[in-house]
Amino acid sequence: MSAKAKSSGGGWAAYIRSAREGGLILDDAPNAELHTRLRALPSVERLLEQPEVQALQAAHGREPVVAGARACLDAARTALRRHPGAEVPALAELSLAIDARLARAARPVLHPLINATGIVLHTNLGRAPLASAAAEAAAAVASGYSNLEFDLEAGRRGARTQGVEPLLCEITGAEAALAVNNAAAAVLLALSALASGGEVVVSRGELVEIGGGFRIPDVITQGGAKLVEVGTTNRTRSSDYASAITPATRVLLKVHPSNYRMLGFTGEAGLEQLAALARERGLILMHDLGGGALVDLRAMGLPHEPTVQESLAAGADLVAFSGDKLMGGPQAGLLVGRAAVLEPLRRHPLLRAVRLDKMTLAALEATLQLYRDPARAAQTVPVLAMLDQTVAALQARAERLGALLDASSPHRNDWRVEPSEAFTGGGTLPTQGRESRALVWTSESGAELTARRLRTGAPAVVGRVRDGALVFDMLTVSDAELDGLAGALEQVRRS
Ligand SMILES: *Cc1c(COP(=O)(O)O)cnc(C)c1O
């Protein structure tokens, strides 16, 4: 240590001295000064000996703290080089920098946020928030053992979906049910098990891309079946399906055009007509419904979105839908229909690859329990409860948020409450907004920069930007989130 200090104290100063004595012109004086200042930084070892940094090692472990200390010293060196006037940071300052760096690194990349977009089912923001009963059920099985695949009565191996299948049948009136990883997997599994090596007939108007590259023609090909397109983009009749049927036909597939709408001169064959045709020709009618409403949304003043029960009643042999769209549960792909049609799916090897995990199954079962009483579901399933809010309630929430902002910084006059249009999202009711209320905030530092600060803050907030202002739609913000949202806005106001 002392030898090192001597040499580090001696090097530049001695060099400068000898240069002067030798009558040389020293034009490197600022550099020499820089080196003196760089030497004033502590070593990694010295930094690690600080009590604050010792405490960090106890909390985070030695390795991350050593890496953090190195990174902070590197950053300090860079700062000294770039800014000739910069102060050499004190030990305490460096300790704080290590602490901040470790806290940043420990923050999970995937974390909760406040969705103020007014889009209830936002695929990028995790789609449906779970009912508290569903979240609790998932947590309950997460950290211990469970009877995931164990029949407790018989004391032997049981079916993984034993809890959710009877509930799905009870709620939808279906004869049989199955649950897999998501609706895309459900459709792939169904086509693989039912139509591989055969033909699947689909209307040209329904050869859609659902999003994320999930395209109906590709899924049919992946399932080992041949796609037979019928009709035209805007109009397809039942007779178009009938004349396309060959001995190789296995499935008539109807796809709900979830995320887009065709307007004008359009026409499609109804499920009833196709069901009659499928029965007559010994084929399977499958409905890829997507959204998967289990209750009629018209009761909430929304336009009609076809329900699973309606599809079955119209004669579909198999209906596929998502667990985390209008049903408001965890990510899952649900299949309901005739027992004989579902049987080949249960035996297909792909089922193992698309099965659900215990936490999702627990959340799914708890969500389905709520639907045994649709009135209770409307109140307790967050997606339904959000859609069912009155404009007056949304107005009141926006004003409460404004009051919180005024309480922390009075007389700013930087917000107002305005009407806004909120959306169901998740590829459901794409053209139909519903009336909502938003707090519109004009930030001094500009909307885009402010929006970015809010997205990267804690809690993170995602809103919309409209005409240079930030729009926080109250449909997707809960009362419990108001304090956090106000706090996040206040932080940006102050910075
Ligand atoms: C959303 C959707 C899917 C895909 O559902 P995931 O659960 O996201 O896999 C499939 N088909 C239709 C019609 C959809 O709307």
From residue 122, alpha-carbon distances to 229, 383, 423, 462 in Å are: 31, 11, 9, 11
Q: What share of the chain is helix, strand, coil (3-state, %, to 5)?
A: 50, 20, 30
Ligand 1: which residue has its CA nearest to atom 13? 290
Q: Which region among 98-102, 167-171, 259-263 has the lowest average model confidence (pLDDT)?
A: 259-263
Q: Which region among 23-37, 125-139, 150-164, 233-247 has the lowest average model confidence (pLDDT)?
A: 23-37
The percent of residues in the chain predicted with pLDDT above 90, rounded, is 79
Neighbours of 128 (CB within 10 A): 26
Give the pLDDT confidence score for residue 27 in this predicted structure: 53
What 3-state class would DSSP assign to 371? helix
In the structure, which protein residues have their CB atom closer than 6 angstroms to any atom of ligand 1?
Answer: 182-184, 210, 214, 255-256, 258, 288, 290-291, 322, 333, 427
> What separation in Å is there between the alpha carbon of 423 and the centre of ligand 1?
17
What 3-state class would DSSP assign to 162? coil
pLDDT at 428 over 70: no
Listed by start position, the domains of the chain span: 10-106, 113-121+386-494, 132-380
Q: Render 352-379 in DSSP notation, one character per residue.
A: HHTPPPHHHHHHHHHHHHHHTSHHHHHH
> What separation in Å is there between the alpha carbon of 303 and the centre of ligand 1?
20
pLDDT tens digit string along 169-211?
A: 999 999 999 999 999 999 999 999 999 999 999 999 999 887 7
- CA 304 – CA 261 distance, rounded (Å): 13
Q: Identify whether the C-beta of residue 363 lies closer than 8 Å to the C-beta of residue 330.
A: yes
For the record, the structure tokens of 46 come out as: 């010295």
Report the DSSP pairing between strands 226-230 and 199-203.
parallel
Q: What angle do CA 216, 298, 286 make, to 5 degrees?
A: 25
> Phi/psi at 150 (nearest 5 deg)?
-135, 125
Q: Identify whether the C-beta of residue 114 lies closer than 8 Å to the C-beta of residue 460.
A: yes
pLDDT tens digit string along 307-364?
A: 999 999 999 999 999 999 999 999 999 999 999 999 999 999 999 999 999 999 999 9
Q: What is the pTM of this model?
A: 0.87
From residue 315, alpha-carbon distances to 13, 193, 269, 270, 292 in Å are: 92, 20, 13, 10, 16
Q: Which of 121, 210, 321, 424 to mutate to test the pocket of ligand 1 (most atoms within 8 A of CB)?
A: 210
What average pLDDT does range 132-160 have in this prediction?
A: 97
For the record, the structure tokens of 219 come out as: 């899924």
- Its CATH architecture, for the domain 132-380, is 3-Layer(aba) Sandwich (3.40)
> What separation in Å is there between the alpha carbon of 461 and the centre of ligand 1?
27
Ligand 1: which residue has its CA nearest to atom 5? 183
* CATH node for 113-121+386-494: 3.90.1150.180
For the record, the structure tokens of 30 come out as: 């600022």
> What separation in Å is there between the alpha carbon of 359 and the centre of ligand 1?
21
- CA 222 – CA 224 distance, rounded (Å): 5
Confidence tier at 86 by pLDDT (50, 70, 90): confident
> What separation in Å is there between the alpha carbon of 103 and the centre of ligand 1?
38
Give the pLDDT confidence score for residue 314 in this predicted structure: 97
What 3-state class would DSSP assign to 490? helix
Q: Helices marked H in 61-162 — which ranges?
A: 62-82, 91-106, 132-142
Please list, residue by residue across 350-379, b when 16 or more beta carbons sit within 10 angstroms of its beta carbon and e when fewer do: bbeebbbebbbbbbbbbbbbbbeeeeebbe
